[in-house]
A and B are shown apart, each in its own frame.
Chain A
């Protein structure tokens, strides 16, 4: 038996210890927040937090996740997550949306340790998260907006929207 804790809930599972965490989440626990994109840690769609660190669930054997706190997009919470999700809404980041749970999880992990990341630091932290729709500049803007929400005087407003101009 494998025992894992996902979004605060403990599960005892009769699964192959070498089964990647992603498939345990999606096919055994029916948690479809983390997405399958590549199976080789090349796209970041499956990103979850393991003890707070952004981790590619598609290559992590479930046995390696035992005894650690696994957080998925469905369980991520707290001021950082609130700021990130509010910024994502404000900047209207998503297009098809498939990669977005992974992007949000990577952004949360970055802001948890760096409340005022530079463009370069954002690029480094999220370079493993592919977005085929090309929502990248809004992702960058939303992370800055989330940082402002976390550190700015307004804490709850913040700018960072990207808009087309008319006229």
Chain B
């Protein structure tokens, strides 16, 4: 039998049970988990780790499969289906989690399939909520550990099933490995019993149990008679050195179906008799329809129903039309005569937002998320002082698959087809709109045509349920236009931040102060999904700033939440998306003020952070940092910029090489990336996610901006909201550092460093420091020329 490491971190079961009133339980826990402090009133022993293996109802049997627990089923033909509770939105999580199952099960990788789980508390996301606690990552004190443990416990019980926060592998790592190892032990026990042999004489590989005497039997022949383990506590997990599949580059399981148009996104479902709906929202964010004259619209071809859609789950109100095709519904929208109530946002424009944030930064010190020493005094005593203000705009998610959802309302409940990052909340939203019990809603999760945090929202799902009521018994697919999608998003909050730093006479950083102001995403999300008001702490808006790894003797990082009537949400990398730009640009400013090389300057500040330092050194080496650059193909000079950032547990270093085109726009030629994400489950998709993060982050750095004009979003279709196109794409090279650490996040960490690396390269090239996103070179800046051309 192959060696297995003992699973040493078994937690003691306890018998103390919480004593909260049931009605209070959920809200109190959410309060605790969503980043607030103080409200943790939890008991021990809510849901021991092992209880994340068995769901409250068994997996549905199909294709001759026998489910062995909540995470996998084995067919009598020997194929294995990994049941995954995570949405596949491009991040490769179905493949990664199938690898985790196959590894511990010793399954035959070629037979692996993937299916979505249903909704069950064992699938609640624990990792993200624990990561949401406002502790500095270097803090390993007893309070932090206790809070993390208590929160993990409570979230298993009452948390949310969610794909997000770059947490999926991290969250499923232990329960899935334990589930697969338990199933493997069951199969071994069953084979041994049939052979009247000792289980310790049996080994497993590629879906087969083998006795030392040479007898073999496939998992498919065993599964029907597999029985629960006599003593489940004896199951051990593989030591990482024994991994055969994890750590190898595997292709995406669903790649063939997606390339051939066979994969079904929510917008592609076609239940029998389905009708199509289109919606027009109030032009002002937060507005709604007070009256509609639909006489003309109802007379148009194919139109079946017109319905006012109230604001739901944070959405702006609107009017929807159901027709036999989406195009007919859309044509008829133009014939509506709607009276809108604008709501409070009608007086707000982008300049007002910036002013409100600037006022907050100037007037209020904010909540201190991290404080070391007396930073103000240290700044006063510094030989050199830096003071800079940075700005970031609202951003839209812009998933390629526009917002959509399909619902049929029947007398006995409802059925829904959606691509959602929060299936439990989606089900609850439908139940709430229809006034029925959530148990009567069946949700069919589909592939997501992009998520990036947009599909953490349930607005379009609630709308589809509302609209489908107009034609009970008939499925209705509600699809937003691209313009509606851009103009009625939950935006990455705009943010203003003031950074100050002090350097001593030797150029060493002695003081670091950052104070930022933005709307709170967590508070907004909690209000629209749980109808609760949270207190003021939301670390997601200070993350990327307060969790500074650089070792500065005195640090003070604060954030102020500003309430504004613009809907905000979780956007890829959340606070890191802009705080990394501020922080890594300002570190670069400090390096230049100290007349030091930006890589060397950072390295010295990471003496006690070996993982960050190793990533920095690797990216410097791989990028040729310090060596001369070749001119761009058009002859323009090229400069490098570096940035290093840790988010969602993963540290990414990037070096950008860019020139400036004759149109004054940056041309990014190459982005060299190095990263430490702990154990690398699938290096292929790790590279893919970093490539993706770079392109996504670069689009934001160069083009990304949502502007508000009297409560209306100006941008609409792809002529005004501009993701990057193929000719604008740099070469992205990804280097994954070998690591034995717990697997960490990947969907987001590739994004944050790219904007500051670009800004730092632009500074190197022009001597001009750009502190506002998106990065636009002022007309007054002369374009650099190659020495040869001068």
For chain B residues 219-271, which have a beta carbon within 8 Å of chain A?
Answer: 247, 249, 251-252, 254-265, 267-268, 270
- B298-314 vs A: 1/0 string, CB under 8 Å? 00010000000000000
Is A96 in contact with B259, judged by CB distance below 8 angstroms? no
Nearest CB of chain A from residue B253's CB, rounded to whole Å = 11
Q: Which of B45-53, B376-384, B398-406, B586-594 contacts A (4 or more CB under 8 A)?
A: B398-406
Q: What is the interface size of chain A, counting residues whose CB is below 8 A from a CB of the partner?
A: 61
Contacts of B254 in A (CB 8 A): 94, 97
- A100-122 vs B: 1/0 string, CB under 8 Å? 11001000000000000000001
For chain A residues 33-67, which have a beta carbon within 8 Å of chain B?
Answer: 33-40, 42-43, 45
CA distance A45 to B687 in the complex (A): 24
- B709-720 vs A: 1/0 string, CB under 8 Å? 000000001110
CA distance A137 to B688 in the complex (A): 10
CA distance A127 to B255 in the complex (A): 22
Name the one of A23, A43, A88, A163 contacting B259, with C-beta atoms under 8 angstroms: A88
Contacts of B695 in A (CB 8 A): 133-134, 136
Contacts of A42 in B (CB 8 A): 482, 717-719
Residue of chain A at shortest CB distance from B680? A166
CA distance A133 to B452 in the complex (A): 9
Name the one of B91, B264, B268, B482 contacting A37, with C-beta atoms under 8 angstroms: B482
Knowing A23-B326, A23-B327, A96-B90 are in contact, say whether A74-B687 is a contact too (CB < 8 A): no
Contacts of A35 in B (CB 8 A): 265, 267, 400-401, 449
Contacts of B431 in A (CB 8 A): none
Contacts of B255 in A (CB 8 A): 88-89, 92-94, 97
Is A99 in contact with B400, judged by CB distance below 8 angstroms? yes
Interface of A is mostly: loop
Is B91 in contact with A20, judged by CB distance below 8 angstroms? no
CA distance A138 to B688 in the complex (A): 9
Knowing A135-B692, A162-B687, A164-B735 are in contact, say whether A96-B450 is a contact too (CB < 8 A): yes
Is B696 in contact with A134, judged by CB distance below 8 angstroms? yes
Knowing A19-B325, A38-B718, A130-B718 are in contact, say whether A73-B688 is a contact too (CB < 8 A): no
Is residue B774 contacting chain A, with contact meaning CB distance below 8 A? no
Is A140 in contact with B449, judged by CB distance below 8 angstroms? no
Name the one of A32, A37, A163 contacting B400, with C-beta atoms under 8 angstroms: A37
Is B259 in contact with A85, judged by CB distance below 8 angstroms? yes
Nearest CB of chain A from residue B450's CB, rounded to whole Å = 5
Is B249 in contact with A164, judged by CB distance below 8 angstroms? yes
Contacts of B724 in A (CB 8 A): 134, 136
Is residue B703 contacting chain A, with contact meaning CB distance below 8 A? no
Q: What is the interface size of chain B, counting residues whose CB is below 8 A from a CB of the partner?
A: 73
Nearest CB of chain B from residue A148's CB, rounded to whole Å = 18
For chain A residues 70-103, which have a beta carbon within 8 Å of chain B?
Answer: 72-74, 85, 88-89, 92-101
Is B402 in contact with A36, judged by CB distance below 8 angstroms? yes
Is residue A26 contacting chain B, with contact meaning CB distance below 8 A? yes
Is B734 in contact with A165, judged by CB distance below 8 angstroms? yes
Is residue B684 contacting chain A, with contact meaning CB distance below 8 A? yes
Is residue A28 contacting chain B, with contact meaning CB distance below 8 A? yes
For chain A residues 128-145, which have a beta carbon within 8 Å of chain B?
Answer: 128-140
Knowing A104-B259, A137-B731, A165-B734 are in contact, say whether A16-B301 is a contact too (CB < 8 A): yes
Is B261 in contact with A74, judged by CB distance below 8 angstroms? yes
Nearest CB of chain B from residue A149's CB, rounded to whole Å = 15
Knowing A43-B400, A85-B260, A129-B726 are in contact, say whether A96-B448 is a contact too (CB < 8 A): yes
Is residue B691 contacting chain A, with contact meaning CB distance below 8 A? yes
CA distance A36 to B726 in the complex (A): 20
Contacts of B249 in A (CB 8 A): 163-164
Is residue B434 contacting chain A, with contact meaning CB distance below 8 A? no
Contacts of A104 in B (CB 8 A): 259-260
CA distance A133 to B256 in the complex (A): 17
Is A38 in contact with B717, judged by CB distance below 8 angstroms? yes
Contacts of A33 in B (CB 8 A): 261
Contacts of B690 in A (CB 8 A): 164
Is residue A12 contacting chain B, with contact meaning CB distance below 8 A? no
Knowing A38-B717, A97-B258, A97-B263 are in contact, say whether A164-B726 is a contact too (CB < 8 A): no
CA distance A166 to B676 in the complex (A): 11
CA distance A19 to B260 in the complex (A): 25
Residues of B at the A interface (CB closer than 8 Å) are 89-92, 247, 249, 251-252, 254-265, 267-268, 270, 276, 301, 324-328, 398-402, 447-452, 479, 481-482, 680, 683-684, 686-688, 690-696, 717-719, 723-727, 729, 731-732, 734-738
Smallest CB-CB A-B distances: 6 pairs? A134-B695, A97-B258, A164-B687, A98-B449, A96-B90, A33-B261
Residues of A at the B interface (CB closer than 8 Å) are 16, 19-20, 23, 26-28, 30, 32-40, 42-43, 45, 72-74, 85, 88-89, 92-101, 104, 122-124, 126-140, 162-167
Interface pairs (17), CB distance under 8 Å = A19-B325, A27-B324, A28-B325, A73-B261, A94-B259, A96-B400, A97-B259, A98-B449, A101-B261, A131-B400, A131-B723, A132-B400, A132-B452, A137-B729, A138-B691, A140-B729, A165-B683
- Interface contacts beyond A19-B327, A97-B90: sample of 20 additional A-B pairs, CB < 8 Å, sorted by A: A32-B268, A33-B261, A35-B401, A35-B449, A40-B718, A72-B261, A85-B259, A92-B688, A94-B255, A96-B399, A96-B450, A98-B265, A132-B452, A132-B696, A134-B691, A134-B729, A135-B691, A140-B729, A163-B687, A165-B735
